[in-house]
A and B are shown apart, each in its own frame.
Chain A
């Protein structure tokens, strides 16, 4: 039977951690783009669109991410898409992130006094111009700390992709634990790596919060 050193465990976990980082980036970027789209829909003033986005947010915030992953994993297959764990995880985490981000940003926009919209409207700016030049710069200041804070949720959320078989940090940890018969050490290493990824982001979010408050 081969002997495994601590370095063997850590090295293989580090290799897998690349996928956790990649998945986090894709989900956060995708969520940002899609979330911004949803935000514009919600601010458009059309009742139907506002309602739809509201339901979308409720749906994603009121159900477990794990079930969303399963649903997409099997749903994409039913719809005839040749699906993989990687694709399903990317899509599910993007949708999940977009729902939370759009809600955070809606709060930030709502915090801008009504008069700002009215003043810019009275200067004959279009909706797009009002949003882009007047509202966005102010809302961004409010939104940045919670947005960075949410990134931690995304990184932690990627751990669930292990359940549908995507080999990232958590899944690799499970496989290594099975081979080495050292689950405690392995999962402690896994947890430590998530901590190293997440804690600086948490600290940064907190610092931003303090600076902008």
Chain B
């Protein structure tokens, strides 16, 4: 039997795919904002905080970076209810993605922060800027600029990783793909379309962030 592929039966379901893609983008956007902020706070704590805090952040980063995202997600979604913390699939997904991205962002940002010349900080302090001002005005922008490509790559990786969130019935792109293939029984073609949609999203998000970074975050 020759291989016969039928893509029409998937493409007629485009509203489902579109909705899934929109949720994937939304999850990524929220996780990027929250995870980015978490990363900045942790990077700051790790670079100049008290010793106990530095250890704590170091532990958090290593635990997250050395365990699979799917286990982190399952721990949050299936494990936390034992403590009485019952999260919806969407909230659990956002939390898992935020915690995950936060750890990687901490490491990436720390590299950028440590590269700040000592003299710049001293110069800022001599202008009577407060510690917080020195960090947000003098240290952070050039650090962000330096590590932006690495950070963007990591955000894309987190977005691709979010395909796993469909497993706890978060209605994102991989969930939509699953749903469509359970309706038309054309699994192979459906997953081709779903996979290529992710590729499109990855390219889109990467270009968008490369465009947005210099404009809104750190200037050219």
A and B, one complex? yes
Residues of chain A having any CB pair with chain B under 8 Å: 58-59, 62-68, 70-71, 74-75, 77-79, 152, 156-157, 159-160, 162-163, 170, 173-174, 177, 182-184, 186-188, 190-191, 194-195, 198-199, 202
Contact A63:B72 (CB < 8 A) given known A152-B66, A188-B79, A191-B63: no
CB-based closest 5 A-B pairs: A184-B79, A159-B68, A64-B163, A198-B66, A74-B187
Closest to A183 in B: B78
Asked if A71 contacts B167 (CB within 8 A), the reply is: no
Contact with A along B31-73 (1 / 0, CB 8 A): 0000000000000000000000000000000110111111110
Contact between chains at B62 and A174 (CB < 8 Å): no
- B164-220 CB contacts (< 8 Å) to partner A: 164, 167, 174, 177, 181, 187-188, 191-192, 194-196, 198-199, 202-203
- Complex Cα distance, B202 from A186, in Å, reads 34
With A67-B191, A183-B78 as contacts: A62 and B68 at CB distance below 8 Å: no
Per the bound structure, the CA–CA distance linking A177 and B163 in Å amounts to 22
Question: Across the interface, do A202 and B71 meet the contact criterion of CB distance under 8 Å?
Answer: no
Contact B75 A187 (CB under 8 A): yes
Is B164 within 8 A of A62, CB to CB? no
Q: Report the nearest A residue to B24, measured CB to CB.
A: A64
Q: Is the interface of A mostly helix, strand, loop or mixed?
A: helix
Q: Chain B interface secondary structure, helix, strand, loop or mixed?
A: helix
A67 touches B66 (CB 8 A): no
> Which A residues are CB-close (under 8 A) to B74?
170, 173-174, 183, 187
For B194, what are the chain A residues with a Cβ–Cβ distance below 8 Å? Answer: 67, 70
Known: A173-B74, A183-B79. 8 other contacts (CB 8 A): A62-B156, A62-B203, A64-B163, A77-B188, A183-B82, A187-B78, A191-B67, A195-B66
Kindly report which residue of chain A lies nearest to residue B5, judged by CB atoms. A78
**Considering only CB atoms, which chain A residue lies closest to B160 in the complex?**
A64
If A59-B199, A63-B195, A64-B198 touch, whether A199 touches B66 (CB-CB below 8 Å) is: yes
CB distance from A185 to the nearest CB of B (A): 8
Q: Across the interface, do B198 and A67 meet the contact criterion of CB distance under 8 Å?
A: yes
Q: How far is the CB of A69 from chain B (nearest CB, A)?
A: 9
- Asked whether, in the complex, the Cβ of A170 is within 8 Å of the Cβ of B63, the reply is no
